[in-house]
Each structure stands twice: as C-alpha cells, then as structure tokens.
Structure 1
Amino acid sequence: MIVDDHEIVRRGIAEIIERAEDLKVVAEAGTVADALVRVRLVQPDVILVDLQLPDGTGIDILKVLKAEDLPSLPIILTSFDDDSAVAEGLAAGAKAFVLKNVRGNEIAEVVRQVAAGQVLLDDRTLTARKSDGDDPTANLTPSERKVLMLIGDGLSNREIGEKLGVAEKTVKNHITSLLAKMGLQRRTQVAAWVAGQRAAAWRTPTEN
C-alpha cells in the first residue's frame, strides 16, 4: 500500500512496484484518514508512507498501526533527510526510511527486504545490522552504551541529558565518541542499528 498526497508521485511509485513480478500494489491513499480506513480493511504486507500529509504525518499512521497491532510493515518515504524524524519514525515502528530521490529499483528492493523482516535505513540503503559478525559497540563506555540505547528509543539530546542527569553538551560529546568508535557518521545510523538489533533479538527464540 502507498500513502502519498501527491498523485503523480504515488502513481509513479505504484508503477515501479507493479513492474516487479513478485510485488503488487493493493491500495493507495492521499491522507492519514483515508490511509487508516484502507490499511485496516486491506492489511497489506508492507505500507509505504509519506512523512508529510495534508491532515497529519506518516508518524500518525505508524502509531495507529502499532497501537492496534496491525500486521502491515511500514516504510517511511520522504523528501526530507531529517534526523529527528528518522528517530521518531523508528520509535513508532518504521522498518525503513527512504528518501524520494532513491532509484526505482531500490524502492522495490527495500520493500522486499522489509517484507522479509529486515530493518533498513536509507539514503543509501543502510542496513541496520551487525556486519561480518563484529560488535561495533565493543569499545563503548557504559555511559556511551546508555546514550546509544536512548537514541534508539527516539530521544533527543536534551531528553537524553535529562534522563541521565548530565548536560546536553556531555551527551553530544558521548555521541561524537560513540559514532567514531562504531564507524558511523550520523545519529540516524545509530538509531537504525539499535532498531535492527532489537528486531533481530525479537526474532531469535530464547534458548532453554
């Protein structure tokens, strides 16, 4: 299902997806209200949601999906590369965050991967998972680990500082350090990595 208030954009994405033999567009919507009616009725496997809509945001839709435990896996599709929006979207249950300047075949591939259970962050299709079996958090201090997890919860630097009882500047210093140690460049990548770890943990059965 595709939710975007611009019909030309919506139809363009639909045509790209329909070209793939293994994908089918089952519904479209241009507003939050219409999207909620249709997603409850159709319950698509994956829903691509524009961040900015006339009567709200894509985050509003994600929150309802999460609250009502609807099975559709959400992908946020937007023209805005906004760190806070990415963090908020991931906290609301987004499985991927894709900029509208992505190539058509990449949109289809992101849909496939999300349907398969992966959590992705894209302006260059960044996968939020461990790579090569190495733990990128191995050298983090206890304070940096706390900041890492709170970023994954969608908290701002100010909110993290309030929660940990430290100055916002201290939080920024922790983030700068943990980014360097993890080999990342932006906090959105941190949020995606945490989301990927949580999703992987949720999928892994507990050993007896």
Structure 2
Amino acid sequence: MGYVSVTIVYPFRILADAFSSSINKLPDFYVSNQVESLVELWESVEETDLVLVDADLLKQSCFRDIRKIMASFPGVQIIVIGIVSAPEVLITKGCAGYIDLHRGFDEALHLITRVGRGATGGILSSSKSSSESTLDTLSQRESQTLKLIWDGMTNKEICDFLGVKQQTVSSYVNRLCEKLGVESRNGIFLLSHRLRDKTL
C-alpha cells in the first residue's frame, strides 16, 4: 500500500496544525495540503486521497459541497470535523466519517487511520449523540410532528390530526429540519432508523 495523501480544510490554524503534525507521524500518511477554505481546495489542490474538512465550511452550502468534493477528487474519502446536529446525514451523503470536536484526539486519529486504510469509517460523537441531544430541545408540538412524520403521515394528515393549520405544520417541519441538520422532510426519515426507539 502506498502513502495516503491527506488534505486538511480548516480555517483555524492551531487545530489544523495539530492534526497535520499528528497525521504526519502516522505510518504511510502525510498531509499534502493544508488550506483554510473550500475555495482554496478547488483552486490549489490537484489530488488527494483523504479530505478532513470543517463542518462549518460545509454548513454554508447545506452540505452540498460534499458532492462537489467527491466529483473533484474521484475516490476521495471525506471526514467532517466539527459540531453537527445530525452526523448520520453526513454518512448518507457519502462521507466516510465524522469527528465531534468533543472527542479525544487519539480517537480521531484512529478513525482517520481506519478510513485512510480503506476500512469503514464511522461517527465519533459525544457519548450522547448530537441528534439525541437535539431531541431534548424539541417543543412538545415538534416532538409530536416528528413522531407523526416517522409514522408516515403527510403534512395535511398531521394538520388534521393536531387540529392546526397546514402552515403551522410546515413551520414545525422547517424547524425540525433546521434543528436536526437535514435539508428536507425526507431527511428526517434518514434519522428514523437510529433515533426511532429513543423516547420523545
């Protein structure tokens, strides 16, 4: 196996330097590029095997830049670093892994090593997942709406069931999407398998 070329896309130099220094000590890994923005990634990086990218940079495009990274660098593995309310969505969008900044540095390096060597990545989140923590912040109506969406109801059916206007249900759905970090009502379903059994 050859060397794994890593590109770090992170605007905070101190943390980027810490990752770079540690990755360069791993056998068969080297940081070939360290940039502070996605624009720099498109303009200055020609090829890379693994991209570590700041979640906040991806949030600016509602995570659509994940596809752009994959299209620009065929076969690339992407690991997102930061705080994301629903990291499961990143995996469904094609990312190989997610590292919550609250996790230990050694665990992060272990995930980077696994992904770089072609193994399955995963989610390194705080002990209670961000999505589960988000569930604790939902209002009673948002929780009811979430359960009804998971039960397969349309917005119109939820409106009739709750006895509210359809515009109100649309507002609940929009707030759920925002709080759960998904782009659409369908994104809520992506979380259902992992969170369905949690107490709402």
Q: TM-score, normalized by length of structure 2? A: 0.57
1:160–1:38 CA distance, 2 compared to 1 (3 A): farther
Runs of 4+ in 1 over 3 A off after TM superposition: 54-58, 66-69, 156-169, 174-180
Structure 2: 5+ residue stretches without partners: 1-6, 128-144, 162-187
Query: 1:30 aligns to what?
Result: 36
Q: 1:54 to 1:45 in 2, by over 3 A?
A: closer
Q: Choose the corresponding residue for 1:3, options 6, 9, 21.
A: 9
- Offset at 1:54? 9.6
The corresponding residue for 1:94 is 95
| Residues 48 and 77, structure 1, Cα contact 8 Å, conserved in 2 | yes
Q: Aligned pair 1:122/2:128, yes or no?
A: no
The alignment of Structure 1 onto Structure 2 pairs a total of residues equal to 147
RMSD: 4.2
Q: Which residue of the partner structure matches residue 49 of structure 2?
A: 45
Match of residue 82 from structure 1: 85
Q: Deviations over 1:157-204 (max 9, x none)?
A: 5995697636499x99x9599743xxxx59xxxxxxxxxxxxxxxxxx
Equivalent residue number for residue 176 of structure 2:
none
Report deviation, 1:57: 5.2
Aligned pairs (5 A) from 1:30-179:
30-39=36-45, 41-42=46-47, 44-53=48-57, 56=60, 59-68=63-72, 70-78=74-82, 80-83=83-86, 86-115=87-116, 116-123=118-125, 157=146, 165=154, 167=158, 175=192, 179=196
Q: Percent identity?
A: 13
Unaligned regions of 5+ residues in structure 1, if any? 126-155, 187-208
- The amino acid across from 1:14 in the alignment is S
Given the alignment of the two structures, is residue 14 of structure 1 paired with residue 20 of structure 2, yes or no? Answer: yes
